[in-house]
Amino acid sequence: MMWNPAWESGVRLIDEQHRQLLAQFESLMAAIHSDSAKERVPGILAFLAAYVETHFSTEEACMRAAEYPGLVEHQAIHDQMRAQVTRLVDESTRDSTTLTEELVDFLTEWLLGHINEVDRPMAQFLLRYGFDGMGTVQ
């Protein structure tokens, strides 16, 4: 899966983090399909989980600063995703070979669905509020 410029939100910091998440997803997919999946997948998933938290915290801080009216709903979606990522990481430590399809579906839905349906409208609000491309108020 390659980054699609149509997914750009206009807030460079958020877009850069989305691209980094996609790159980690690519690494994870390569690891899952490698001969060393058992060794590689848990570490990549742990990094991905930590980076997801960094990304969600960044978005939430931007939304709070801009007094985004959809903050509570957006944060609830993030909390559901945090729980799902935690569950996937826990499952991978037990058996990294069983979660391939579920993981691909979740990450694809999240990367494409969440970015397009939830993040892009939020980013448009941030830009109207006066955030520059790096997510800070001008």
Q: What is the pTM of this model?
A: 0.84
Cα gap 41→27, rounded to integer Å: 9
Q: What are phi and psi of 92, to 5 degrees?
A: -70, -30
Residue 77: the pLDDT is 93
Q: What is the mean pLDDT of residues 93-121?
A: 76
Q: Which two tokens stand for residue 68?
A: 């985004």
**The Cα angle at residue 121 between residues 125 and 50, in degrees rounded to 5:** 100
**Can you tell me the mean pLDDT for 33-48?**
82
What average pLDDT score do residues 9-14 get? Answer: 88
Residue 131 has pLDDT above 80, yes or no: no
Residue corresponding to tokens 């997919």: 29
**DSSP helix/strand/coil, 68:** coil
Distance CA 43, CA 28 (A): 9
